[in-house]
Structure 1
Amino acid sequence: MKAPAPRVLMVGTALEGRGGVAAVVSVLRRHGLFERESVRYVATHRDGTPLVKARGALSGFWQTLVTCLRGRPAVVHVHAASHASFLRKSLVLLIARLAGCKTIFHLHGGGFRTFATEEAGGLLRRWIRHTLEASSLVITLSEGWAQFVHAFAPRARVAVVPNAVPLPDLPAQDAAIPGRVLFLGRLEAAKGIHELLEAGARVVRETRGPSPLRLAFGGEGDAQDLRRRAAELGIAERIELLGWIGPAERDAELRKAAVFCLPSHAEGLPMSMLEAMAARKAVVATHVGGIPETLRDGDNGLLVPPRDEQALARALARLLGDTALRDRLAERARATIEQQYSTEVVCGKLSAIYRELAGTRR
């Protein structure tokens, strides 16, 4: 039997991938958005060798072209970040516009501002602006990113839709290990891992008596560099390198964490932070991207300036040394996710957008 024509064609990275976009889309699919809105998903990027990536891109472009010409989806919704991701998705959007489809550019990635305003040359900058303004709608993850898009591409139509986060069941008893600080993300300088190591070393030095501090790093990247720097700082025995971990392992690590820390230099709205908040964990993060709109300093988490290991050390020491504060922030973090970032709320917003663009109401 021939599959029914999709109402929405969604384009992004392969869902078995390990990035934030794959996590975001997987949440939407598990919650039933694809069935409810007749969404077909096409991947234009796969992890692997250059040949695997090239084949994935070509296959994605071909599937997009065939679907747009034969299936005539009402809406083509692309998830895009910077550099090659933007270039792939801008071509997808061009195909969709030529086929007469309404289009959504869904902006992810904390580096897009730098990419668009500093790294891109004049011709590419004009193409970025044209792509944003020619889209039927640009979705950003926060008001701050919406303001950037309005300034960079004044004729773009923008809506704010945060990432959706499933609400895990909470354990009956607290399983957190005292002193355990969890980081989830790519092991690279831009994620603030060096500042976290330096802050951890400072906490150990300044703690009276034995310090229980342990730093657990979950993610792929330059583990050798992280080990080397930890040894230089004298805390090699206090770090754990978990490698990339899947959803089940992530949930288990969150349960064991006393504090979650993400000291990034730039961000959109990181899924790992939202997942930690949903798991009822006290969070320390940096005042970048869309984070401050979600994490309010002293209310549902602690915020520190990026690249400031001293401020980071103070925040970690404060949380690790104050159980009542840690518990209060964790409860407020969970409540924030329940009220503003649940899958029900976000999927409802996306459904309303699809129906408006398609000219239908239900």
Structure 2
Amino acid sequence: MKSPALRVLMVGTALEGRGGVAAVVSVLRGHGLFEREAVRYVATHAEGPRLAKARGAVAGFWNTLRACFGQHPAVVHVHSASHASFLRKSIVLLVARLAGSKTIFHLHGGGFRTFATQESGPLMRRWIRHTLEHSSVVIALSEGWAQFVHEFAPMAKVAVVPNSVPLPARVDRTLEEPGRILFLGRLEAAKGVFELLGAGARLARDFPQLRLVFGGSGDVDGVRRRARELGIEDRIELPGWIGPRQRDAELARASVFCLPSHAEGLPMSMLEAMAAGKAVVATRVGGIPEALRDGSDEVNGMLVPPRDEAALAAALATLMGDAALRERLAARARASIEQHYSTEVVCGQLSAIYRELAGTER
């Protein structure tokens, strides 16, 4: 018996994973996009031991092949970052094109520019360009990333669709703890965790209530060791990776959210903090400056250069010492999410792309 027609096949990482792509897709699914647009999701990557990852990849490719040639989806939408993620998804897109589907390459990960222009050799650069230019649409998270795609792959058709986050119903300021700074992300140098520790050491004397909370997995021992060297081991908390419920609780307690990354796409953790009504300090990298605006009449957060410990400390000191400023930036940050990054807005943009590619209207 022939399988029923499939409208959209979406391919990415396992949704129970801890990365940004899993968070993005979970938000889209939770808002009903899968039901409205007849989306089937296939995971080609999962966290865990090497053997489990290999089994997951094989199963994912097999399910993708069966879907592409058995159900003939109108659109195949892949979420991709760099390195192995790109290789897996580029093969999926090749299979989809051979099966006659329209294709969407959804670009995530702040390291893609370096991967494409510096870390890849001539053949890989050619394959990356080919993949981008032969996709029906490349989705970039910001205008800045769209400009990079146009420069690297001039024939690519690019659409800008930001990440989205749900908007919490209310913000309870009474739960905030003065001096509590929250970081959410992988604990590694590229996320700026060591600059945040250095900034914390500069602030500790003037702000006796200072607490640095690092929510995430990764180099926990390295973070603890550096905090000890700086004399602020008693000022840090390392709860490990936290799920949505604990994340929301930590956001409610935080006075300031800080993400001092060296490179980014459009980080979900920052958008979640803005939606939760938090004053945010982040670095001027990737798509962050398009969501978090500083130095203008519409300022809704504070931006600092990456790898600049002194500037980071100064921005955090300004916010921690000015409750009115924190509240003003927090309110504007939440309003920005409501206007531009809500799930309703982003799901509508994706639905329009699907319908255009599939040649259908509703």
TM-score normalized with structure 2 length: 0.98
Q: In 1, are the aligned partners of 2:3 and 2:71 still within 8 Å (CA)?
A: no
User: What residue is the counterpart of 2:130 in the other structure?
Assistant: 130
Residues 44-72 of structure 1: per-residue CA shift (max 9 Å, x gap): 00001111111111111111111011101
Task: Return structure 1 stretches of 4+ with deviation > 6 angstroms.
Answer: none
Runs of at least 5 residues in structure 2 that lack an aligned partner in the other structure? none
Identity of matched residues, %: 77
Matches for 1:303-342 after TM superposition, within 5 Å: 303-342=303-342
User: What residue is the counterpart of 1:346 in the other structure?
Assistant: 346
AA of the residue aligned to 1:338: E
User: What residue is the counterpart of 1:196 in the other structure?
Assistant: 196
Summarize the Cα distance change of 1:2–1:259 in structure 2 as closer, same or farther, 3 Å threshold.
farther
AA of the residue aligned to 1:49: P
- Aligned counterparts of 1:5 and 1:33: Cα–Cα separation in 2: 18
- Aligned counterparts of 1:20 and 1:54: Cα–Cα separation in 2: 21
User: What residue is the counterpart of 2:112 in the other structure?
Assistant: 112
AA of the residue aligned to 1:211: P
Q: Aligned match of 2:256 in 255, 259, 263?
A: 259
**3-state SS of the aligned residue for 2:282?**
strand
The answer as to 2:72 corresponding to 1:72 is yes
- Aligned counterparts of 1:214 and 1:128: Cα–Cα separation in 2: 43
Residues 201-259 of structure 1: per-residue CA shift (max 9 Å, x gap): 00124x2xx62111000000011110110011010000000100000000000000000
CA RMSD of aligned residues (A): 1.1
The answer as to 2:266 corresponding to 1:269 is yes
Cα distance, 1:174 vs structure 2: 2.5
Cα distance, 1:172 vs structure 2: 4.2
Cα distance, 1:329 vs structure 2: 0.1
- Aligned counterparts of 1:2 and 1:331: Cα–Cα separation in 2: 53
- Aligned counterparts of 2:174 and 2:87: Cα–Cα separation in 1: 46
Residues 62-93 of structure 1: per-residue CA shift (max 9 Å, x gap): 11111011101000000000000000000000
The answer as to 2:141 corresponding to 1:141 is yes
User: What residue is the counterpart of 2:42 in the other structure?
Assistant: 42
Runs of at least 5 residues in structure 1 that lack an aligned partner in the other structure? none
**3-state SS of the aligned residue for 2:25?**
helix
4-13 or 278-287, larger mean C-alpha shift: 4-13
Summarize the Cα distance change of 1:23–1:2 in structure 2 as closer, same or farther, 3 Å threshold.
farther
Cα distance, 1:130 vs structure 2: 0.2
User: What residue is the counterpart of 1:18 in the other structure?
Assistant: 18
Number of residue-to-residue matches in the alignment: 359
**3-state SS of the aligned residue for 1:242?**
coil
The answer as to 2:243 corresponding to 1:246 is yes
Q: In 1, are the aligned partners of 2:216 and 2:240 still within 8 Å (CA)?
A: yes
Summarize the Cα distance change of 1:172–1:112 in structure 2 as closer, same or farther, 3 Å threshold.
closer
Cα distance, 1:95 vs structure 2: 0.2
Cα distance, 1:3 vs structure 2: 7.2
AA of the residue aligned to 1:45: H
Cα distance, 1:103 vs structure 2: 0.1
Residues 266-295 of structure 1: per-residue CA shift (max 9 Å, x gap): 000000000000000000000000000000
- Aligned counterparts of 1:198 and 1:162: Cα–Cα separation in 2: 31
Cα distance, 1:164 vs structure 2: 1.0
User: What residue is the counterpart of 1:185 in the other structure?
Assistant: 185
Residues 10-54 of structure 1: per-residue CA shift (max 9 Å, x gap): 000000001000000000000000000000000000001111111
Q: In 1, are the aligned partners of 2:106 and 2:138 still within 8 Å (CA)?
A: yes
- Aligned counterparts of 1:56 and 1:204: Cα–Cα separation in 2: 46
Q: Aligned match of 2:209 in 208, 212, 216?
A: 212
